[in-house]
Homo-oligomer: A and B are copies of this chain.
Amino acid sequence: MIQKELMTVVSQSEIAKNIFEMTLKGALVDQIDQPGKFVHLKASEEMMPLLRRPISIARIEHDKQEFTMIYRAEGAGTTALSRKQAGDQVDVLGPLGHGFPVEAAAPGETALLIGGGIGVPPLYELSRRLNQKGVKTIHVLGFQNKEAAFYTEEFAALGETYVATVDGSLGEQGFVTDVVTKHGLRGDVFYSCGPTVMLKAVEKLHAAPKGFISLEERMGCGIGACFACVCHPAADETGTGYLKICSDGPVFKAGEVAL
């Protein structure tokens, strides 16, 4: 069930250049049943910035009633958020949307997790869950450069991990797709999150017989009411079909959406 809660900041730290990791505590955590879901949060108590910001859930600790998110401080909202300190409160709405189906990979199978930039965070909880049920995970993480990279060791602790940076300052030079191709990485299922151009390229790799991608779009309500975040389904004879990224997604089956 969707809840709105004033959650308490447990910790916040800058883990890479302008990249923040924030852990929040509250009863809302009980409702998070799947990796890849997101929260819609008010970055400040003030009237401005007005709108909520959608941020993915990167790690869940049900026993502590905590979840962690990782975000880039860029505009007014995320910058305000980055000023919060342990003990402060954040108005969180969530959990929202449909996440990554862990059940799509069977124990013993291999899952290929491909993330780009701030699309990497939700793959972390996904990888933890997959590993818990005995799925082997291969991670391919793309970043702009070394300064912007994060969580590479955390992923490495869970499975084989490749890093690609645009400028080659960390891992291999190039895009995540270059890395997948170069190493001939394959899996039984792939999961991906990142910029749309990347997801498009990832779908074309056909690195697994089935896959799931997580999309981003500018949002109003975050719950499916305002039609701000629609996308076209791949199959749409009438031209009026649509999917809402906030409530039908953000995770869709590869091939389901016209990218």
Q: Please, how many angstroms separate the alpha-carbon atoms of A44 and B47 in the complex?
A: 12
Min distance, Cβ A43 to any Cβ of chain B, angstroms: 11
Residues of B within 8 A of A47 (CB): 48
This protein's copies in its complex: 2
Residues of B within 8 A of A48 (CB): 46-48
Residues of B within 8 A of A44 (CB): 46
Min distance, Cβ A158 to any Cβ of chain B, angstroms: 41
Query: How extensive is the interface on chain A, given as a class?
Result: under 10
Q: Please, how many angstroms separate the alpha-carbon atoms of A248 and B46 in the complex?
A: 35
Q: Which of A199-223 contact B (CB under 8 A)?
A: none
Min distance, Cβ A127 to any Cβ of chain B, angstroms: 38
Q: Please, how many angstroms separate the alpha-carbon atoms of A86 and B48 in the complex?
A: 25
Q: Please, how many angstroms separate the alpha-carbon atoms of A191 and B47 in the complex?
A: 41
Residues of B within 8 A of A46 (CB): 44, 46, 48
Min distance, Cβ A50 to any Cβ of chain B, angstroms: 10
Q: Please, how many angstroms separate the alpha-carbon atoms of A44 and B48 in the complex?
A: 12
Q: Which of A28-45 contact B (CB under 8 A)?
A: 44
Closest to A47 in B: B48
Q: Please, how many angstroms separate the alpha-carbon atoms of A46 and B47 in the complex?
A: 10
Min distance, Cβ A85 to any Cβ of chain B, angstroms: 13
Q: Give 1 or 0 for each of A235-255: 1 = CB within 8 Å of chain B CB.
A: 000000000000000000000
Q: Give 1 or 0 for each of A41-83: 1 = CB within 8 Å of chain B CB.
A: 0001011100000000000000000000000000000000000
Q: Give 1 or 0 for each of A11-28: 1 = CB within 8 Å of chain B CB.
A: 000000000000000000
Q: Please, how many angstroms separate the alpha-carbon atoms of A48 and B46 in the complex?
A: 8
Min distance, Cβ A82 to any Cβ of chain B, angstroms: 14
Q: Which A residues are closer than 8 A to B by beta carbons?
A: 44, 46-48
